[in-house]
Structure 1
């Protein structure tokens, strides 16, 4: 009896997996290389005020259990961090990004790889509009990636913004 139950269950799971892969096949070119993955990450959160973001593509970049980890000083001056899932990030920032306009642009990158893992220190500048000449903030994204043999996955992004007392070191800025 158990054999008959397992076969239909397997077929249902295979069918769901196949449909999920088919629906995301359009995104595969965005994760074939490190460069394309990082380029897509910055592009998918960026846009003018009133522009919708492709949140399905955003989620496609990340492993299912990936974390987004902002850090910085709180009102009491203590450095804190918090963990967010991709959905938590969309829920907490998505509406604001779309209503206010936001462009994050990478200005420098340091890459270290070993086997299937890669760590990137990606220095960014943030703008409210693509037309802005000066960024309203800068910082560094610490991005951990995994290559499963087929594509790149973002495992975590841990970031902090530049402050007067914590300027970005020269080695993480363009020459």
Structure 2
């Protein structure tokens, strides 16, 4: 009898997870920190003319998440812009498709406490997967929350590498 109950519970669990995946096809992409960051990089990457999956992109972010690029203005002062996921799509989506863009992680430093995690993720950017030399590098500071069932990106705050601020070696190692 105990074996039958165990078998029943096993099949119930398998069946439930299949149903959950059918209702939420992207859930597997946010189950681990690694899969969430891999999805972030892959969803914005693609060859010239290749459409991006903006539904999956939006899925990665919590409701009020911000994407925060930083950079030096014409006046020489560093500034930030605050974008929602839809603002990012509107301001960068067309450019990514028209020009081709691949962002690849080249190093990571992770700090966690309870349900929150901060990742400094160093990256290189290319126009095509065939390119061997990046046209840009930088660091994404990614804040995430694990709600017990998935990871959510709360914010991404980034800065491009420059002569003034090269990426420190400690962020180029995993």
Matched, 1:50 2:24: no
Instruction: Deviation per CA, 1:44-90: give whole Å up to 9, x if none.
Output: 00000000000000000000100000001011111000100000000
Partner of 1:119: 118
Partner of 1:25: 24
CA contact (8 A) 1:24 1:60 kept: no
Q: Distance between the aligned counterparts of 1:174 and 1:118, measured in 2?
A: 18
Q: Distance between the aligned counterparts of 1:22 and 1:115, measured in 2?
A: 26
CA contact (8 A) 2:122 2:171 kept: yes
Q: Partner of 1:168: helix, strand, or coil?
A: coil
Partner of 2:75: 76
Partner of 1:149: 148
Q: Distance between the aligned counterparts of 1:170 and 1:122, measured in 2?
A: 12
CA contact (8 A) 1:47 1:53 kept: yes
Partner of 1:133: 132
* CA spacing shift, 1:77–1:24, aligned 2, 3 Å: farther
Q: Distance between the aligned counterparts of 2:161 and 2:107, measured in 1?
A: 14
Ranges in structure 2 where 5+ consecutive residues have no aligned partner: 1-19
Partner of 2:108: 109
Q: CA deviation at 1:22?
A: 7.9
CA contact (8 A) 2:140 2:158 kept: yes
In the alignment of these two chains, the number of paired residues is 155
Partner of 1:3: none
CA contact (8 A) 1:49 1:98 kept: yes
* CA spacing shift, 1:77–1:90, aligned 2, 3 Å: same
Instruction: Deviation per CA, 1:69-124: give whole Å up to 9, x if none.
Output: 00010111110001000000000000000110000000000001110000000000
RMSD: 1.4
CA contact (8 A) 1:122 1:142 kept: yes
Q: CA deviation at 1:23?
A: 7.9
Consecutive aligned runs of 4 or more in structure 1 exceeding 4 Å deviation: 21-24
Q: Distance between the aligned counterparts of 2:135 and 2:59, measured in 1?
A: 28
Q: Distance between the aligned counterparts of 1:23 and 1:57, measured in 2?
A: 15
Partner of 1:91: 90
